[in-house]
Amino acid sequence: MKQLICLLLVISCARLSAQNLADLAQIREHVTTKRISSYDKAGGPNDNLQHIENGGKRTLVDIKGAGIINHIWITMWPAPDKLSRNDVIIRMYWDGKPYPSVISPIGPFFGQGWNESYPFTSLPLAAAPMDGTSLVSYFAMPFSNGARIEIENQSGTEIQPFYFCVDYVEMPKLPANTGRFHAWYNKQLMGSQDSIENEHWIFGPEGNNTDGRNNYLVADIKGEGHFVGMNYYVQSPSPLWYGEGDDMIFIDGATTPSLNGTGTEDYFNTAWGPKVLYTHPYFGYARVNNDIGTLGRTHLYRFHITDPIYFSKSLKFTIEHGHNNEMTLDLASVAYWYAKEASPVPDIPDAKARKPMPLINSYDIHRWRNEWRKNRGKDPKLWN
């Protein structure tokens, strides 16, 4: 299986645009490669930031002028079981603006959900060995009048140490029509609107959803630009398949979906509710549950590398939580897009609201079964 996945990666990467490969041969005038890292300025072995206390902030880079960040690498300690990557916040500011255009917990931004740590591979983002603790970005992040990246520790424990490396190019000015990189994290506990989880017609006919009013919100963007993908983190308390939820995308103020999908797994380029790890540069399942049905946690991702979603005035990206929003799901996501100008993104849920719902285990199921038996007279031969 691993050999097959590697072969698929090789084939997919080989099919990348010939123009992109040709770009490697272009000699760039007045472009200088720069790097800012946590290396020991005294020449010693302590190549990291030390003692980032709970509530503390550190500026990683504060660049002047014009350029493009093209590579970020980060790792930190303690391990995720003691230092929550869901509670270390990364913010990015472009062009001297006082507001961030990127705000997300550092784990979900780089493809690590629920403060878990596991390998994740895609073209723009990765979580690499050891066990996904090496966080990598190859997203292009342009700026014409300065760039600043900071982290904030909301984890309740001290970060020691924190390593990073940011590579960028410095240039006199950006090419015309260069967008600004944006990213935003959201998390919502979504519930059935009528308190009946009627997926797959278990309790009768299902209703219709034509306007997406109660859908989960991935992004609500104002201005001109293009949407380039998301990491999507699903935790289900039910073994029943949640993936009948359609993606509904509203472009330039449309009140009905401009783009309407056919199911959650369909948007992520898979089919028939897969429960297998699958890695493609553009899409895949980086984490799947090992529980009954779809009970548990699943991480899906899709990047619009060759098929961006363009908008002139606005874009609202939503997705149903089960058909007609009939499933209770703990959902989180990080959306990525480019906009004509560096724009503010909404604030994100606080640490309490970001906390993942607890996993359901066999003991919980047994307790539910016991309550069911009690409600039916405790017949010793009750089966289901």
Which is the CATH superfamily of the domain at 29-178? Protein of unknown function DUF2961 (2.60.120.1390)
Residues in Cβ contact with 72 at an 8 Å cutoff, skipping those fewer than 6 apart: 135, 136, 137, 149, 164, 165, 166, 167
| CA–CA separation, 273 and 261 (whole Å) | 15
pLDDT higher than 90, residue 192:
no
| CA–CA separation, 141 and 51 (whole Å) | 28
**pTM for this one?**
0.93
pLDDT higher than 70, residue 45:
yes
The structural architecture, per CATH, of the domain 184-198+210-365 is Sandwich (2.60)
Residues 104-135: tens digit of each pLDDT: 999 999 999 999 999 999 999 999 999 999 99
pLDDT higher than 50, residue 203:
yes
- The first and second tokens of residue 377, run together, are 């007279």
Identify the three-state secondary structure at position 314: strand
- The first and second tokens of residue 231, run together, are 């990491």
- The first and second tokens of residue 290, run together, are 């090992």
pLDDT higher than 60, residue 10:
no
pLDDT higher than 50, residue 11:
no
The H or E element containing residue 166 is: strand 162-171
Residue pointed to by tokens 């380039």: 228
pLDDT higher than 80, residue 282:
yes
| CA–CA separation, 189 and 171 (whole Å) | 44
Domain boundaries, the chain: 29-178, 184-198+210-365
Residues 132-175: tens digit of each pLDDT: 999 999 999 999 999 999 999 999 999 999 999 999 999 999 99
| CA–CA separation, 119 and 135 (whole Å) | 10
Query: What values do phi and psi take at 13, rounded to 5?
Result: -65, -35
Q: What is the pLDDT of residue 24?
A: 83
Q: What is the pLDDT of residue 18?
A: 52
Q: Judge whether 29-178 and 184-198+210-365 match in fold.
A: yes
| CA–CA separation, 337 and 222 (whole Å) | 11
N- to C-terminal Cα separation, the chain:
37
Q: What is the pLDDT of residue 194?
A: 75
Residues 234-256: tens digit of each pLDDT: 999 988 888 899 999 999 999 99
